[in-house]
Amino acid sequence: MSTDRCPVQIRPEITVADLLSTFPDVESALTELSSSYRALENPVLRAAATQSTTLSQLAQTDGISIGIIIGKLREAAGQESQAADAGVEAPSWADESTIAKSLDARELIQQGGHPLERVMTELGTLNPGEVYQLITPFVPTPMIDLVEQRGFESHTISHRPDLYHTFFRRN
């Protein structure tokens, strides 16, 4: 994956205020996605409510998959919304049959949690050549960058707009 990305990634824990401050052009996409955001017609009330509301909280309030929100907003901001590996044939090691450890982090992320600490701990237990699978509702770009900096290979496969399997292999 490339590392020349915008320094601010759209992630579940970003507040709506920070999102709109950094990426003002995504407001129309946010309005289309979120009925609760759209309902805040008063600009003063909207500004106050968005200061502490995260995208994860917005997703829960609206009953929308956080993966859908992240994907659409990243697309509107010109960030990667799909796996950077889309259209690239998966390496032979990025396969369900090669997995030594796996984590389905979708529920944790939907509830506002973050799997980084657990993933890094579990990756640390892999032997050279072993594969770890992370299942998320969006491409975990910042985590992929961090893991690759620690000497792992990665490959992400999109199964649908809110289901991604990222495989990490220790070199």
Closest to 154 in 3D by CA, of 85, 62, 78: 85
| Structural domains of the chain, ranges and CATH numbers in brackets | 16-77 (no CATH), 96-170 (3.30.110.40)
pTM above 0.85, yes or no: no
Contact 162, 137 (CB under 8 A): yes
pLDDT bucket at 123, cuts 50 / 70 / 90: very high
Structure tokens at 128: 């050279």
In this predicted structure, the answer to whether residue 3 has a pLDDT above a threshold of 50 is no
74-100 pLDDT tens trace: 889 988 655 556 667 889 999 888 899
Closest to 80 in 3D by CA, of 159, 4, 133, 148: 4
